[in-house]
């Protein structure tokens, strides 16, 4: 029987993650797999409430309490490191703890993994639940990422990773900064399921415009040399058009490109294999919820 570890980062959102656990437990009924959950508590300041979880189908649920808050992407990186080093598993499924990664799609991911055992399975978004402005910004993010990296990245953290890919990701410095960027860098062949972005169980979405911008630039930063070359080609082409009087001269495109290049090279400094290798030193303790 295949062993699957579901990896969930959490920060001050215990109500959501408890509901998610119950929904996961319902969705894995009759699946011929052994599913365990690993929650990475990223230094939450809110104490989790005492709750009796009725979980009949999950093999185990553990909470790894981290000493310091280091951010969402680094939670995933540390979680992958822990699972690779400490656990017996066949697949890892990272998912957000707020309901936006729908547990109803777990069966689709697992079924697809059974068909393609050595391939990464991504949950590619075909529909989102946010407002029109955020949807527009997300569309811009996808196009900018493709233009400057040559990579069409339609997925986030919600994926199914075979053990061989997990072992590669924890050796890639970019994993410490961008999950989807790192995964796109190290894997050539992937397959996917269609995914609908769910609504948060409780409270507003934490993905603000600023966070989306940083997320987008962090992905591009993984491919910073490609982005630099493409930016230089754009600037040369733009200056040529201006000199040929085909385009009106304005400093705005040039300034935006310069700012973007500066930003992605700054963000690329977050990639750190040493910190990834030492990430388990940030563990305070481990609780067993089941």
| 25 is a domain residue | yes
Residues 6+ apart with CB under 8 A from 30: none
Residue 6: is its pLDDT beyond 90?
Answer: yes
The predicted model gives 77-96 an average pLDDT of: 97
The predicted model gives 138-142 an average pLDDT of: 77
The pLDDT tens digits for 190-224 are 999 999 888 888 877 666 667 777 888 899 999 99
| 18 is a domain residue | yes
Find the distance separating the first CA and the last CA of the chain, reported in whole Å: 20
Which CATH number fits the domain that encloses residue 88? Answer: 3.90.550.10
Greatest distance between any 2 Cα atoms in the chain: 72
Residue 130: is its pLDDT beyond 70?
Answer: no
Of the listed ranges 106-110, 113-117, 212-216, the one predicted with least confidence: 212-216
For 105, the domain range is: 2-130+154-206+272-288
Burial of 272 (0-12, 13-18, 19+ CB in 10 A): middle
Contact criterion met (CB below 8 Å) for 194 and 124:
yes
| 220 is a domain residue | no
Determine what percent of the chain is predicted with pLDDT higher than 70. Answer: 92
- Evaluate the CA torsion angle 279, 284, 286, 287 in order and state its sign: negative
How many domains, in total, are found in the chain?
1
Confidence of residue 185 (pLDDT cuts 50, 70, 90): very high
The predicted model gives 51-76 an average pLDDT of: 92
The pLDDT tens digits for 238-262 are 887 777 765 556 677 788 888 889 9
Tokens of 145: 């990422």
Q: What is the pTM of this model?
A: 0.89
The pLDDT tens digits for 264-277 are 999 899 999 999 99
| 146 is a domain residue | no
* pLDDT value of position 138: 72
| 262 is a domain residue | no
**Residue 84 phi, psi dihedral angles, 5° rounding:** -65, -40
| 264 is a domain residue | no
| 62 is a domain residue | yes
| 169 is a domain residue | yes
């Amino acid at each position: 029987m295949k062993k699957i570890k579901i990896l969930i980062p959490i920060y001050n959102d215990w109500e959501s993650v408890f509901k998610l656990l119950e929904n996961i437990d319902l969705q894995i009924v009759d699946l011929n797999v052994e599913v365990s959950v690993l929650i990475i508590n990223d230094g939450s300041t809110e104490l989790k409430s005492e709750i009796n979880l009725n979980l009949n189908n999950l093999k185990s649920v553990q909470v790894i309490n981290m000493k310091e808050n280091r951010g969402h992407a680094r939670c995933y990186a540390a979680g992958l490191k822990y699972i690779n080093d400490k656990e017996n598993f066949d697949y890892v499924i990272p998912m957000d703890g707020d309901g936006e990664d729908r547990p109803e799609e777990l069966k689709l991911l697992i079924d697809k993994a059974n068909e393609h055992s050595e391939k990464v399975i991504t949950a590619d978004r075909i529909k989102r639940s946010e407002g029109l402005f955020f949807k527009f910004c997300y569309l811009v993010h996808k196009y900018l990422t493709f233009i400057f990296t040559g990579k069409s990245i339609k997925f986030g953290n919600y994926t199914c990773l075979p053990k061989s890919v997990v072992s590669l990701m924890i050796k890639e410095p970019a994993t410490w900064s961008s999950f989807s960027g790192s995964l796109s860098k190290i894997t050539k062949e992937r397959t996917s399921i269609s995914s609908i972005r769910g609504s948060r169980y409780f409270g507003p979405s934490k993905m603000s415009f600023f966070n989306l911008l940083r997320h987008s630039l962090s992905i591009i930063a993984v491919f910073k040399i490609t982005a630099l070359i493409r930016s230089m080609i754009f600037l040369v082409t733009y200056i040529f058009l201006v000199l040929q009087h085909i385009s009106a001269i304005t400093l705005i495109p040039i300034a935006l490109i310069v700012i973007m290049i500066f930003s992605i090279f700054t963000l690329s400094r977050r990639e750190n294999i040493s910190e990834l290798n030492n990430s388990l030193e940030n563990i305070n303790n481990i609780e067993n919820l089941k």
